[in-house]
Amino acid sequence: MNYLPLLLIRFVLATVMIIVLALVSGRALADSIRLATTTSTYNSGLLDYLLSHYAKVSDTGVQVIAVGTGKALKMGENGDVDLVMTHAPNAEARFLDQGFGIEAQGVMFNDFVIVGPEDDSAKVSAADTVTDGLLLIAASNKRFISRGDDSGTHKKELQLWQHLGTLPTFKGYLESGRGMGHSLQMASEMGAYTMTDRGTWLALQDKLALRLVLESDPRLINSYQVILVNPTRHPHVNIDSARKFAQWLVSSEGQEVIGNFRINGEVLFVPAAKPPAR
């Protein structure tokens, strides 16, 4: 029996399969993007909610890397991701000015709040402003957990302390070096105060022995932007798919999804799409 034709057919089929798999693999690679964003958008559950809706209109896979804003922007600077979504306006402005990012667009905002132990022994709830509240914590040497991780939350917290003319040096001031969820858990276990974005607080409050003690100061507004990594600096980035995802976030559909995200009936993020900054 001549097996040559059969072997030839198998060889051809195997070759075709290899080519098909290579094409599919290449397509999958082209249809995926890497997003560096903050732990607050991840811990709150917003990202999973957003991506479940985006999957209905796009085949692009979105790989999420949840880190502090400082680390997210550094990843963009190094070309390790295709776009970033962060919440530290000054750091973002430097990122853009130095040519690492393009097409910054406002996406949404929420606000920061101060939470603390149930007894609120520093009487922060009686303060009129966030800086007054921080001063009460420092003056009474109560424990305060700072993220200490160069995140947007950490940057904002340091700005608020600087309004008092000094950085915190009291003994009760501790740095977790972790994300918002871990920092809240640490504050809960230690009976300490901390500053958190409202979204993460609402998502986790039922699991914590803490209560909200200060809110609604205009200085606590927390705005988020999406920024594409500059393909001139890093030609390998998937700029087309990254741009499509960013455009969806600020589209009427994406903004509606953000506005509809709730926990226990409460809105966590307010849609706030703005035209590109540059």
The model's pLDDT over 120-170, given as tens digits with 9 standing for 90+, comes to 999 999 999 999 999 999 999 999 999 999 888 999 999 999 888 877 889
Residue 203 has pLDDT above 70, yes or no: yes
Name the residue type at position 156: K
pLDDT of residue 274: 62
Ordered domains of the chain (ranges, CATH): 11-110+222-271 (3.40.190.10), 111-220 (3.40.190.10)
CA of 256: how far to CAs of 37, 226, 251, 253, in Å?
A: 20, 17, 8, 5
Residue 217 has pLDDT above 50, yes or no: yes
For residue 100 the two structure tokens come to 């690492």
Residue 30 has pLDDT above 90, yes or no: no
Q: Measured in Å, how far apart are the chain's first and last C-alpha atoms?
A: 72
pLDDT of residue 120: 97
CA distance 73 to 92: 8
The pTM for the full model equals 0.77
Which 8-state DSSP code applies to residue 148? -
Q: Of all residues in the chain, what percent carry a pLDDT higher than 70?
A: 87
CA distance 182 to 80: 25
Residue 213 has pLDDT above 70, yes or no: yes
Q: What is the pLDDT of residues 244-270, one digit of tens each?
A: 999 999 999 999 999 999 988 888 899
Of the two residues 275 and 245, the one the predictor is more confident about is: 245
Q: Which of 43, 40, 197, 46 is nearest to 110 (CA)?
A: 197
Q: Average pLDDT of 103-130?
A: 96
pLDDT of residue 43: 84
Angle at 166 between CA 161 and CA 169, to 5 degrees: 90
pLDDT of residue 99: 97
Using 50, 70 and 90 to split pLDDT, how confident is the model at 25? very low
Checking phi first, is residue 184 left (phi over 0); if not, alpha (psi -120 to 50) or beta? alpha
Residue 103 has pLDDT above 50, yes or no: yes
Spatial contact of 112 and 220, defined as CB atoms under 8 Å apart: yes
